[in-house]
Amino acid sequence: MEQKILIVDDEAHIRMLIEQTLEELEDENVEFLTADNGEKALEIIITEKPQLVFLDVMMPKMNGMEVCRKVKKELFLNEVYIILLTAKGQELDRQKGAEVGADVYMTKPFDPEAILTKARTVLGLS
């Protein structure tokens, strides 16, 4: 079964960086989807049901917290694993992330190795 990873960030270079970090997963039948704002991300999550979403918090149209809340608390898509990415690592943000249902909270700049390891674990590709 093909697995999907959605990468959501309003900055193209960050989307590219995450995709490059994960590109070896393409050999393991993983498809990459991208979105540059929260509304588009939500549409893709609903239609494509990616297993894993790297979701930036600060974005136009709908922020990552809002997208995450909708996915987890309104649509109850608990099989979608959401990793919130943010430049802010304050404890309050972590709590907010947990409240909206994020599975993991990572701060930027992130460790590429940690992102790849996490993706492999979530998708069951050890």
Q: Which domains does the chain have, with CATH numbers?
A: 3-123 (3.40.50.2300)
The one-letter amino acid at 73: K
**pLDDT at residue 6, as a whole number:** 98
Cβ neighbors of 34 (< 8 A, separation 6 or more) are 6, 7, 8, 15, 19
Model pLDDT for residues 47-68, shown as the tens digit of each residue: 999 999 999 999 989 999 999 9
Q: Closest Cα partner for 63 from 103, 95, 34, 97?
A: 97
Q: Enter the pTM of the model.
A: 0.94
Q: How confident is the model at residue 2 (pLDDT cuts 50, 70, 90)?
A: confident
Q: Give φ, ψ of 8 to 5 degrees.
A: -120, 115
Local structure of residue 100 (DSSP, 8 states): T
